[in-house]
Amino acid sequence: MDELKPDWLKIKYHREETGDGIEKILRKLSLHTVCEEANCPNIGECFNRKTATFMILGRHCTRNCTFCNVKKEIPQPLDLKEPVHIAEAVKKWQLKYVVITSVTRDDLQDGGAGHFAEVIKAVKDADTEVLVEVLIPDFQEDNDALFKVVKAGPDVINHNVETVPRLYTEVRPMASYERSLKVLKNVKTMDDKILTKSGIILGLGEEHDEIIDVFNDLRKSNCDFITIGQYLSPSRQHHPVMKYYHPDRFEEYKKLAIEAGFKGAMSGPLVRSSYHADKMFKKSETAK
């Protein structure tokens, strides 16, 4: 359906000097961003705002989700200098809100949870005022692994359900909808001061009632924030786009999400998990 892509999804990509500066720092410190690996449509805007989502645990994923552009190859060894390098990049950019995500590493005993914790600690040690959001995998429902991340003290823990349960066998065959809900619920059980977040992408073949059911299921799991965005197929080898939603529909879903009880909702065709994450967090803090 790329030939039929509506005007509101056609982005004029541009890169200013600030964006190039970010790329130079990333390469110098051997760091990766999900912005680049996942072909995020907002990369130009975010790099020019000096914001990026760090992707840790290598560039190769052990899962086979059909919507994702991250490489599915043999995983690389962990970079033990990565926590220090991310903390250094945060200081160079003078960031006050940092988002850290990863590939899924089912090959590691703790799924990489300990490495997540080391990155969080390194960033917090470098600047105690920095706010840290992590977008984590499900750790195969290993609560000891999850607790490593929780104990490290991030301000927000995000774990995406991505789509409605009916489509999991097509879109996320190695994942579990119920398991993802448990991850979010267990974070709150371990530390109810940590804010939780999840996201869903539309256009994979879901129905309206199924979307609302996801909202309600997330709220039952005490999820605080939600992101809602349009699915854009990375290639013809990936899951096809089944529907393009008009921006007005995204506004409707944002309203419905708030009515469902979320503290914050970011909804739009180009919204992704970490898009303007700092703004949603600060807005919720101001509302207290």
CA geometry: angle 52, 117, 125, nearest 5 deg: 75
Expressed as residue numbers, the domain containing 94 is 12-286
Domain assignment present for residue 6? The answer is no
Please give the tally of structural domains in the chain. 1
Q: Is the pLDDT of residue 57 over 60?
A: yes
In DSSP terms, which residues pair with 157 in a beta bridge? 134, 196
In a domain, 4, yes or no: no
Q: What is the DSSP letter of 87?
A: H
CA dihedral (62, 64, 68, 74) in degrees, to 10, reads 30
**Is the residue at 47 inside a domain?**
yes
In this structure, of 139-143, 207-211, 253-257, 269-273, the range with the lowest mean pLDDT score is 269-273
CATH number at residue 193: 3.20.20.70
> pLDDT per residue over 237-288, tens digit each?
889 999 999 999 999 999 999 999 999 999 999 898 887 788 888 777 766 6
The DSSP annotation for 96-163 comes to: SEEEEEE---TTSTTTTHHHHHHHHHHHHHH-TT-EEEEE---GGG-HHHHHHHHHT--SEEE---BS
Has residue 264 been placed in a domain?
A: yes
- Reported as a pLDDT band with limits 50, 70 and 90, residue 219 is very high
DSSP state of 237: T
- Do 226 and 197 form a contact (C-beta atoms < 8 A)? yes
Q: How confident is the model at residue 207 (pLDDT cuts 50, 70, 90)?
A: very high
Decide if 263 contacts 284 (C-beta within 8 A). yes
Domain presence at residue 5:
no
Task: Look at residue 2 and tell me if it is in a domain.
Answer: no
In this prediction, residue 19 carries a pLDDT of 47
- Share the mean pLDDT of the chain: 87
1 found inside a domain? no
Tell which residue, 54, 57, 162, 135, has the closest CA to residue 103: 57
Domain presence at residue 3: no
